[in-house]
C-alpha cells in the first residue's frame, strides 16, 4: 500500500498483514501473529500425527495391534494442561492490550466527531472543522469523542487497527497514536443505509510542525461546538443554579469533567461525556449525593446538536468561566 498517494492502492509487494501505522496496531499485530504461529504449529503437529498413524497402521503393515492401550495418563495430562496454559497466556496478553486501548492518555488531543448519513464531521480544539478527513500529528495520542445524529455507524481506520461503534444518544471514544507519516483510509464499518459504502474518507498523519501550521493556516468554523454550548449555557440560565454563589443548592460544575462523582444510591461514576449528557436529559437517573432531585429534564428542549454543544462547553471551558 502506498500511503502517500492512494491509500487503497497496492504496490505489488507481499505483506502478511495490512500496513501498520499506529502503536496500537503494532500491539494487535503481535498478538495476531502469536496466535497464528501457535495455531499453525498445532495444525502441523496434528497433521504429522495423522500421517504417521496412517502410515504405521495402514492395511497390511506389521504394526502390533494385539494389545492396544486403554489410557495414557501422561499424554492426557499434557494435552489438557498445555492448551490451558497457552490459552491463559493469550488471554492475559489480550486483556492487557484491551486495557491499554481503553486508557486514554491525559495529554491526548481531543477531536469531536459527529457521524451522520453519510459523512464524518470532525472538529479540532482550535475550531478547525473537516468533512471526511482527519489530520493528526505524528507521535501524539489523539482521542476521538464521537456521537451519531441518526443511526449506528462505526469509525474504522484499518491501518491503525482502530474501530469503534458510533451511537445515537450517547458518546463513544477511540484513541490512537499514529506512528507513520502518510494518508490512510477511514470508513464506516457498520451498514448505515443506502450510501453506506460512500461513507469513506482519509486520515492524514503529519509532523507536529506541519500539523501546527495546518491548524493555523486553515479556515475555521464560524462557531465552535464549545462556543455554541456557552451560548446555550447562558440562554438556559444554567449559572442561576450551578454557580457557587447561587441560592439554589445545585452541584457545582467547576472542574466536574473527569472527576469521580458520588451518587445518592451509594455508587460512583466518572463524569465523562455520557454522564454529562444524561445529567441534562435525565437528571434523576444519576442523582449526586447530597442534592435534591429538583433539576428538570431538558430532553424535550434540546436537540442532539444542542446536547453535543453543551457537553463540549462543560468539557472544555476553563474552571473560572464555569463559576461566573
Boundary (domain end) residue, out of 217, 243, 273:
217
**Do 210 and 248 fall within a single domain?**
no
Cβ–Cβ < 8 Å for 250, 291: yes
Shared domain for 187 and 260, answered yes or no, is: no
Per the structure, the complete domain to which residue 234 belongs is given by 225-322
The answer to whether the bond into 117 is cis (omega within 30° of 0) is no
Query: Is 187 part of any domain?
Result: yes
CATH number at residue 232: 1.10.760.10
The pLDDT of residue 31: 92
CATH of the domain at 156: 2.60.40.420
Q: Per the domain annotation, does 160 fall within a domain?
A: yes
Are residues 122 and 209 located together in one domain of the fold? yes
**Residue at which a domain ends, from 182, 198, 217:** 217
88 in a structural domain:
no
- Is 182 contained in some domain? yes
- The pTM of the full predicted model, rounded to 2 decimals, is 0.76
Q: How much is the pLDDT for 322?
A: 42
CA angle 92/93/94 to nearest 5° reads: 95
Number of separate domains in the chain? 2
Claim to verify: residue 229 and residue 167 sit in the same structural domain: no
Angle of the 225-235 helix axis to the 304-316 helix axis, nearest 10: 100
Judge if 232 and 312 occupy the same domain.
Answer: yes
Q: Would residue 49 count as lying in a domain? A: no
**Which candidate, 259, 281, 262, places its Cα nearest to that of 271?**
259
Q: Are residues 199 and 258 in the same domain?
A: no
Q: Is residue 65 part of a domain?
A: no
Claim to verify: residue 232 and residue 275 sit in the same structural domain: yes
Query: Of 217, 246, 276, at which residue does a domain stop?
Result: 217
Residue-level pLDDT, tens digit, the chain, 324 residues: 344 444 444 444 445 667 889 998 888 999 999 999 999 999 999 999 999 989 988 888 888 878 877 888 888 899 899 999 999 999 999 999 999 888 888 889 989 899 999 999 998 988 888 999 999 999 999 999 999 988 999 999 999 999 999 998 888 999 999 999 999 999 999 999 999 999 999 999 999 999 999 988 876 666 777 788 888 888 888 878 887 777 787 887 777 888 888 888 888 888 888 888 888 888 888 888 888 888 888 888 887 778 888 888 888 755 544 444
DSSP-derived pairing of the beta strands 182-188 and 129-131? unpaired
At 172 the pLDDT is: 92
φ/ψ region of 255 (left if φ > 0, alpha if ψ in -120 to 50, else beta) reads left
Instruction: Answer whether residue 261 is part of any domain.
Output: yes
Q: Buried b / exposed e across 206-241, counting CB within 10 Å, b at 16+?
A: beeeebeeebeeeeeeeebbbbbbbebbeeeebbee
Domain membership of residue 63 (yes or no) is: no
pLDDT of 82: 92
207 and 238 inside one domain: no
The Cα angle at residue 36 between residues 32 and 38, in degrees rounded to 5:
120
If asked whether residues 200 and 285 sit together in one domain, one would say no
117 and 172 part of one domain: yes
According to the model, what pLDDT value does residue 210 have? 94
- Distance in angstroms (rounded) separating the CA atoms of residues 252 and 240: 11
Please give the pLDDT value at position 4.
44
Looking at the fold, whether 123 and 201 belong to one and the same domain comes out as yes
Asked if 164 and 130 sit in the same domain, the reply is yes
Amino acid at each position: 500500500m502506498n500511503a502517500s498517494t492512494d491509500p487503497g492502492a497496492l504496490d505489488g509487494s507481499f505483506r502478511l498483514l495490512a500496513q501498520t501505522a499506529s502503536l496500537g496496531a503494532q500491539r494487535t499485530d503481535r498478538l495476531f501473529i502469536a496466535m497464528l504461529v501457535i495455531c499453525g504449529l498445532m495444525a502441523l503437529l496434528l497433521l504429522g500425527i495423522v500421517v504417521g498413524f496412517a502410515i504405521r497402521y495402514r492395511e497390511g503393515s506389521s504394526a502390533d495391534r494385539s494389545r492396544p492401550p486403554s489410557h495414557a495418563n501422561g499424554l492426557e495430562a499434557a494435552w489438557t494442561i498445555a492448551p490451558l496454559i497457552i490459552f491463559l497466556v493469550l488471554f492475559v496478553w489480550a486483556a492487557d492490550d484491551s486495557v491499554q486501548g481503553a486508557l486514554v492518555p491525559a495529554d491526548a488531543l481531543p477531536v469531536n466527531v459527529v457521524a451522520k448519513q453519510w459523512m464524518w464531521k470532525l472538529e479540532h480544539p482550535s475550531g478547525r472543522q473537516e468533512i471526511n478527513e482527519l489530520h493528526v500529528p505524528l507521535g501524539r495520542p489523539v482521542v476521538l469523542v464521537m456521537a451519531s445524529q441518526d443511526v449506528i455507524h462505526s469509525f474504522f481506520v484499518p491501518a491503525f487497527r482502530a474501530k469503534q461503534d458510533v451511537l445515537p444518544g450517547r458518546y463513544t471514544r477511540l484513541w490512537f497514536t499514529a506512528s507513520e507519516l502518510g494518508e490512510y483510509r477511514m470508513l464506516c464499518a457498520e451498514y448505515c443505509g443506502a450510501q453506506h459504502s460512500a461513507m469513506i474518507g482519509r486520515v492524514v498523519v503529519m509532523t507536529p510542525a506541519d500539523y501546527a501550521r495546518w491548524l493555523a493556516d486553515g479556515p475555521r468554523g464560524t462557531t465552535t461546538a464549545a462556543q455554541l454550548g456557552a451560548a446555550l449555557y447562558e440562554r438556559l440560565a444554567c449559572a442561576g443554579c450551578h454557580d457557587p454563589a447561587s441560592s439554589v443548592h445545585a452541584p457545582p460544575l467547576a472542574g466536574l469533567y473527569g472527576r469521580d462523582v458520588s451518587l445518592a444510591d451509594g455508587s460512583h461514576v466518572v463524569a465523562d461525556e455520557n454522564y454529562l449528557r444524561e445529567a441534562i436529559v435525565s437528571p434523576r437517573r444519576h442523582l449526586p449525593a447530597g442534592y435534591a432531585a429538583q433539576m428538570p429534564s431538558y430532553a424535550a428542549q434540546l436537540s442532539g446538536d444542542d446536547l453535543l454543544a453543551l457537553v463540549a462547553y462543560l468539557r472544555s471551558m476553563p474552571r473560572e468561566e464555569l463559576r461566573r
